[in-house]
Amino acid sequence: MLSFALPWIWLALPLPWLIRRQRHAQARALRLPDTLLAQQNLASAPQPHPAWRYLAILAWLLILLAASRPLWIGEPVAMKREGRDLMLAVDLSGSMQIEDMELGNRVVDRFTMVRHVLSDFIERRDGDRLGLILFADQAYLQAPLTFDRFTVARFLDEAVLGLVGQQTAIGDAIALGVKRFNELEQSSRVLVLLTDGENNAGRFTPAQATNLARQAGVKLYTIGIGSSEVHRRGLLGSRTINPSSELDKAEKELSELSQSTGGRYFRARSTEELQQVYLALDELEPLAREESQWRPRTELFYWPLGLALGLILILSLRRAYG
């Protein structure tokens, strides 16, 4: 619809008429007897065609229209409220290459499954700012917090197991995430950590790093990756082994540390369970929702202003050259 930013400008509409009336009043006050002949001559002078007067009035109306700043207001556009800062910390230790997961009716290693499912999770986090930490012997920042979730997914896809060692520095990963959060303004801070073992490397213990997370207001969600049993065939027949014995030992500590920050611990023994974990995270940390609207505005003043300048130019030429 059409609107005006400065509608009070139209109060100046009678200004030319008032100025003209004031001039006539001053002329009558100064009228002398010996000027009657001159007035008769002026009265008998040829008057301009009414069309020129109409053009002058139209130019004045266009100037007022431009000065009132006409705006075309478009259809409402939904605005999303500010999302949260969500950092993903992914384990790249040697145990992540254990093949105890199924993906598309084929057996794959843990990291392949995590990368596949986590990519879908990243794609759904529209409105959130995402970052990526990869850790093994030490933790390093692969992608800083950004709204470009497609780049984060690409960095995850390009990650290589064993790139930074074979052990598991969970404490360092949490501490690095907290450090990155502290460099930013206050926001809803969430750290999601995926691992398949217990902490056995790094400078920080998980307890020390989690204490830093509590102080910084970071909510920690930990996800344990690994099947509970795998059937192996040997010379004496098949046997069942537990490939996640280290994770079983660490589960209690991970759960307690997560709960101390207001988060939770999840266990994903299969691809389906990991998908359910991400759906649960969507509920616990919902996506940005629409809560306000914005209507785009387009300035239109230059159209009447251009026409007014054109009419003024025509009137000026007519006055100069008769």
The whole-number average pLDDT for the span 207-213 is 93
Are residues 174 and 97 part of one domain?
yes
* pLDDT number for residue 211: 94
* pLDDT number for residue 29: 62
| pLDDT: which is higher, 235 or 129 | 129
Residue 33 lies in a domain: no
Are residues 154 and 20 part of one domain?
no
Give me the phi and psi of 153, to 5 degrees please: -65, -35
The sign of the dihedral angle between the CA atoms of 271, 132, 92, 222 is negative
Are residues 149 and 11 part of one domain?
no
The whole-number average pLDDT for the span 67-83 is 73
Count of domains observed in the chain = 2
Q: What is the pLDDT of residues 219-278, one digit of tens each?
A: 999 988 877 665 556 555 555 555 566 777 888 888 999 999 999 888 888 888 888 888
Q: Is a pLDDT exceeding 50 seen at residue 12?
A: yes
* pTM: predicted TM-score of the whole model, two decimal places: 0.62
* pLDDT number for residue 81: 54
Are residues 233 and 283 part of one domain?
yes
Q: Is a pLDDT exceeding 60 seen at residue 14?
A: yes
Q: Is a pLDDT exceeding 60 seen at residue 189?
A: yes
The answer to whether the CB of 168 falls within 8 A of the CB of 198 is yes
The answer to whether the CB of 177 falls within 8 A of the CB of 134 is no
The answer to whether the CB of 103 falls within 8 A of the CB of 117 is no
- Mean pLDDT (the chain, rounded): 81
Per-residue tokens: 173: 């990963």
Residue 40 lies in a domain: no
Using CA atoms, how far residue 229 sits from 107, 241, 268, 270, in Å, is 14, 5, 13, 11
Residue 108 lies in a domain: yes
* pLDDT number for residue 155: 92
Are residues 241 and 130 part of one domain?
yes
Residue 36 lies in a domain: no
Are residues 123 and 52 part of one domain?
no
Are residues 177 and 53 part of one domain?
no
| pLDDT: which is higher, 314 or 230 | 314
Bridge partners of 265, per DSSP, are 222
Most confident range, picked from 7-11, 171-175, 199-203? 171-175
Are residues 172 and 92 part of one domain?
yes
Bridge partners of 246, per DSSP, are none
| pLDDT: which is higher, 230 or 120 | 120
The whole-number average pLDDT for the span 175-180 is 92
Q: Is a pLDDT exceeding 80 seen at residue 217?
A: yes
The percentage of residues in the chain with a pLDDT greater than 70, rounded to a whole number, is 81
The answer to whether the CB of 274 falls within 8 A of the CB of 121 is no
Are residues 251 and 128 part of one domain?
yes
* pLDDT number for residue 139: 92
Residue 39 lies in a domain: no
* pLDDT number for residue 220: 93
Q: What is the pLDDT of residues 278-288, one digit of tens each?
A: 888 887 777 55
Residue 38 lies in a domain: no
Residue 254 lies in a domain: yes
Residue 311 lies in a domain: yes
CATH of residue 217's domain is 3.40.50.410
What residue numbers bound the domain in which 163 lies? Answer: 80-291
Indicate the pLDDT class of residue 215, thresholds 50, 70 and 90. very high
* pLDDT number for residue 99: 82
Are residues 317 and 170 part of one domain?
no
CA angle at residue 176 from 208 to 101, to 5 degrees? 95
Are residues 258 and 173 part of one domain?
yes
Are residues 240 and 213 part of one domain?
yes
Supply the DSSP string of 127-168, one letter for each residue: TSEEEEEEESSSEEEEEEEES-HHHHHHHHHH--TTTT-SS-
* pLDDT number for residue 175: 94
Q: What is the pLDDT of residues 136-156, one digit of tens each?
A: 998 999 999 888 888 999 999
Q: Is a pLDDT exceeding 50 seen at residue 37?
A: no
